Amino acid sequence: MNPAIKVKDAYVLSKYALGGWLVLLVLNNFLNGNVWFWEYFVFIPPYFFFFGAILLLGYSAYRKHRKAVLLSLLAVLTAAVVLPITFSSSPKSLGPGLRVITFNQFFTETDSDELLSLISSQQPDVVLIQENYEVETLDRKKILQMFPGWSIVQASDLLTLSRHPIISASMGKGNYLKTTIAVGDKQIDVYNVHLQFPFFTKSLEPDTYWKVFDVRKAQYVALLSDVASREKCKIVGGDFNTPANSAFLRPFFEGYNDAAATSSGYPITWNSVLPLFRVDYIFSSKSMQPLEYSAFPTNLSDHYLVRSDIAFQGTC
């Protein structure tokens, strides 16, 4: 083949790749959070596009086509912008607060002793557990043996444990368990969240994904409405079953503190097939400040255990 044709191919390829990527970004702006089928696009890890652009840049450089290199470089930069990378903000110490952990224990039967030992090793103040269904429900006596004097609330598949007294609890329409915890003279609203998975459900027919999308959207509306209506300090954590680039999560990133922002890197919390996704989160109201964040895999679930230390910085 004529080498000139190969060089031209690099330019054509980079031109169409950049154009296609920009079209996807425009479509994402309008379709993300608004139509059911775009959930498939949202679940594609953004770094797939980034590394694809890197490969294209390398190929264009190899073919020594300046225009192709320039277009490929633009593709790399635009793909990098949407990467959900966090950069440590190095928050200052603000004194006492709460250590919060959230963990989806997976719907298969989990060894309760091993799970309680894992929780205890993290020395938490508040524990949010999801997929704690009836057949896997942790025994209350075992919990109190491991955590004497703690408050325990169970609703649906959600279990909230607190070192501090829980003074009220209710189940929200968005599949979240809301508790109010008294920490000294402060009252903290804590939301234990487990939202609908977007791609299949036992309660609906497998071909009605648009109905699943409607359920998810209604759950987010209910959760956001409830959280926004409360004036207390708030912590919202759990399994959102939603990647960070979803429009559903935008109000949380804009209006609340993301605990992962205290660390640097590409946060991952779910290892269902490959460790590619972040679907578990801990957010706090602006009157509280996350100081530390960590997430790590265990042998008990396909979800990572997520932990954050959150301090008070305002009136609760």
**Range in 3-17, 111-125, 151-165 with the lowest mean pLDDT:** 3-17
For the segment 159-167, the average pLDDT, to the nearest whole number, is 96
Query: DSSP of 52-119, one letter per residue?
Result: HHHHHHHHHHHHT-HHHHHHHHHHHHHHHHT---B----PPP-S-EEEEEEEE--SS---HHHHHHHH
pLDDT at 200: 63
**What would the pLDDT profile of 195-253 be if each residue is shown by its tens digit?**
998 876 555 555 566 788 888 999 999 999 999 887 778 999 999 999 999 999 999 99
- The two beta strands, 126-130 and 97-104, are parallel
In contact, 295 and 267? CB cutoff 8 Å: yes
Backbone angles phi, psi at 242, to 5 degrees: -150, 130
pLDDT at 1: 47
Q: Who has greater pLDDT, 142 or 94?
A: 142
Fold (topology level) of 101-312: Deoxyribonuclease I; Chain A (3.60.10)
pTM (two decimals) = 0.88
pLDDT at 135: 52
Q: Which two tokens stand for residue 123?
A: 């020395």
Q: How far apart are CA 111 and CA 120, in angstroms?
A: 14
pLDDT at 91: 60
Sequence-distant (≥ 6) Cβ neighbours of residue 241 within 8 angstroms: 194, 195, 196, 197, 198, 216, 279
Domain boundaries, the chain: 3-81, 101-312
**pLDDT cut 90: percent of the chain above it:** 43
- The two beta strands, 166-172 and 176-183, are antiparallel
For the segment 172-178, the average pLDDT, to the nearest whole number, is 90
pLDDT at 5: 45
Q: How far apart are CA 247 and CA 189, in angstroms?
A: 24
pLDDT at 132: 86
For the segment 64-82, the average pLDDT, to the nearest whole number, is 85
- Closest by Cα among 145, 146, 151, 239 to 191: 239
Q: How far apart are CA 9 and CA 291, in angstroms?
A: 50
Q: Is the pLDDT of residue 73 over 60?
A: yes
Q: Is the pLDDT of residue 95 over 80?
A: no
